[in-house]
Structure formats: C-alpha cells, structure tokens
A and B are shown apart, each in its own frame.
Chain A
C-alpha cells in the first residue's frame, strides 16, 4: 500500500527519468545476450525481472539520482544567467550605459549556461569550466599546435 501511494505521488516528475534510465539500460543488458544458450538467457531475464520487481531499492536510487541530475542541469543553466545579468547590471551602473551592457551580458550569460550544460552532459566533468578529455600526456602538445 505504501508503495502504491508513493508511486502515484511521484509519477509526475518520475516518469521521464525512469523512461530515460530504461532506454539507457536496454542495450547494456542486451549486449551479453547473443550467446547460444537461449534457455539460460530466458531464465536469467526472468530472474532479473523478478528481482528488480521485488527490489525497489535500486529503483529508488535511480529515481533519486535522476532527479538530482535533472536538478543539476537546471541550476547550471540559471546560475550562469544570474552571473551574466549581475555583471551586466553592475557594468551599466558603473559606465552609465543604461540597458546595453545588461542586454549584452544577458545573452552571454545564457550562452555560458548552455556551455555549462553541454559540458556537464558531454562528460567534460561534473561542473562548469573547461575540461579536456583525459589524456594528460598529449594534452599540452595538442594545445600548443594552434598557436
């Protein structure tokens, strides 16, 4: 009963995340499957389905971390916008260029927000700021080349 109530209470925010997790998980569990023993796979899948149905804890965990992920992305987007608008307002007050700096830095802040989200999602690290893919050895060589 508890479970049913909780499920219905959180279906709104939970649905999309669960859907995403399911599609992401599907190829993972399919990959080891193409083996000759169909019988074993069938039994394994049945057992896994039963276990996942019984074991709500993993479901809880994915739901919690999925929500955390979704929340993180939203915050990254807005934080950069706040900084951009803040810089714009301060520059306007300092230089006396009424709306122009605000307009400029509003756009730049939005761009920085998109950049933050892209970096967070592309695996360049958890947060804002530039990060290269991890090849520390050749990293410096590659960076020197364009100069």
Chain B
C-alpha cells in the first residue's frame, strides 16, 4: 500500500485539492464546467440557507436548540458588525453575514472525510476578496467622491514627504485583497495537507500508527478552530475595510 501511495490514487496528500468535472460545460472556448468545487459551494449555500430558514421557521419566543444556534450565529455577526462599522453601514450587513456563513460552511464541510474544501483554492478566496475590495472602493467613492483619495495621504505629513508616502499607502491599500485571500487559502491548504500527511503515517506504521492517529484527532480539533477563526477574520476584515471607506480620516 505504501508503495503505490506515491503515484496516483487518492493517497497523495495533495489529491484532495484536485478539481474533477462533474458536468462538463463549455461556453465560447471557456471551461465553465460544474466541478466538485462548484458542488461543494452549492451544498454550502443550501446548508447555510436551510440552517437559517428551518431554524427560524417557528420563531418561538423560547427558542429550541436549532433556533438558538441560528440566533447565536446571527447575533455574533451582528455584534461584530455593530462594533466595527456601526449603524451607518447597516445596509451592508446582509453581505457580511452571507460572506461569513459561506466561508464558515465551506471550511467546516471541508473537514468531512471525502469532501472538498473550496476555500483551499486561491482563485476562490481571491474572487471573494476581490469582490470585497472592489465593493468597498466603490462604496468609498460613492460616499466621498474624489475626496476618497485623501485616504492615501497620512494626515499631518509634510508635503515634502508626499511623493514617498503616497506610493507606500497605495501599495498598502492594494495589498488588502492579496493578504485577505492568501490568509484564508493558505491556512486551509496547509491544515488539510498536514492532516493528510500525518494520516498517511497511520496505515504505514502498523501498531505504532496509534500515535499519528492521536495527532490527527488533535489536529482535527485545531482545524475546526481554524475553520471558524478564518471565517471570523475574513468577516471582521471586511467590516473594518467597510468602516474605513465609510468614515475616511
């Protein structure tokens, strides 16, 4: 088994990230097939929707377990949003809540055996981050017009320093979507690879495989924490960027 592990099969620790076509579709030379990644996204959206809709179906005054879970999730993000953005950005709350749930469900579903983690692909997280970045920039322009460019001038800096400071500020601003997407993608990619690598030792070591098995169990717990933490970080960063755009200095 160990001999065949190297090439092919599902035994390579990176095999879990492979994209498989489920329904091949081609439009104008572009490959827009429905893949396992798309399937997991659809499942994540469906589960998140079901979680909230079915949880709030009764709307009981004294909530049951499911309703409590839905309410706690909502209040968690609502508190986060209120603290960082405030009342002014209330319109954007549904977006942040959707984003949080989508990433959270994507991360958590990825921990199930034989599933696929779509947030471990840089193109997915970068698309999410780019939507946030472009959206926030548009909000800033819509609210402040050309005054938005004062964002790139640190207040109190002497004019002599502006040629040096403005490029640095612009680069710092442009690095937002990259740091946002790389953080989420790399955390999940590294975590899942590590899980698979250590899990690979279990079968190879025979009786002593109990040791890596214990490590895998512990790591799975840590991965659940990271799955939640990264969804939280993505949401809070979106909130902070929104806050920046709404209240320029």
Q: Taking beta carbons and an 8 Å cutoff, which residues of A are in contact with B? A: 1-2, 5-6, 9, 60-61, 63-65, 68, 71-72, 75-76, 78-80, 82-84, 87, 105, 108-109, 111-113, 115-116, 125-132, 136, 139, 142-143, 145-146
> Are the C-beta atoms of B241 and A84 separated by less than 8 Å?
no
> Are the C-beta atoms of A87 and B180 separated by less than 8 Å?
no
A141 CB to closest chain B CB (Å) equals 11
| Bound-state Cα–Cα, A108 to B222, Å | 37
> Are the C-beta atoms of B218 and A115 separated by less than 8 Å?
no
| Bound-state Cα–Cα, A121 to B176, Å | 16
| Per-residue A-contact encoding for B137-177, CB less than 8 Å = 1, 0 else | 00000000000000110111100000000011101111110
| Bound-state Cα–Cα, A127 to B136, Å | 14
> Are the C-beta atoms of A83 and B217 separated by less than 8 Å?
no
Report B-chain residues with C-beta under 8 Å of the C-beta of A80.
171-172, 175, 179
| Bound-state Cα–Cα, A132 to B221, Å | 37
**B52 lies within 8 A of chain A by Cβ:** no
Number of A-B contacts (CB under 8 A): 125
> Are the C-beta atoms of A132 and B229 separated by less than 8 Å?
no
A-B CB contact pairs (8 Å), 26 listed: A1-B214, A5-B214, A5-B215, A6-B215, A9-B215, A60-B222, A64-B226, A65-B229, A68-B233, A71-B183, A72-B179, A72-B183, A79-B175, A79-B178, A80-B172, A80-B179, A83-B174, A84-B171, A112-B175, A113-B175, A128-B179, A129-B176, A131-B240, A131-B244, A142-B156, A146-B155
Count of chain B residues with Cβ under 8 Å from any Cβ of A? Answer: 42
> Are the C-beta atoms of A116 and B175 separated by less than 8 Å?
yes
Known: A80-B172, A126-B237. A132 touches B249 (CB 8 A): yes
> Are the C-beta atoms of A109 and B171 separated by less than 8 Å?
yes
> Are the C-beta atoms of B249 and A139 separated by less than 8 Å?
yes
- A-B contact sample (7 more), CB < 8 A, given A115-B168, A129-B176: A6-B214, A9-B215, A64-B222, A83-B171, A112-B171, A142-B155, A143-B155
| Bound-state Cα–Cα, A5 to B171, Å | 44
> Are the C-beta atoms of B151 and A130 separated by less than 8 Å?
yes
Report B-chain residues with C-beta under 8 Å of the C-beta of A87.
171, 174
**B14 lies within 8 A of chain A by Cβ:** no
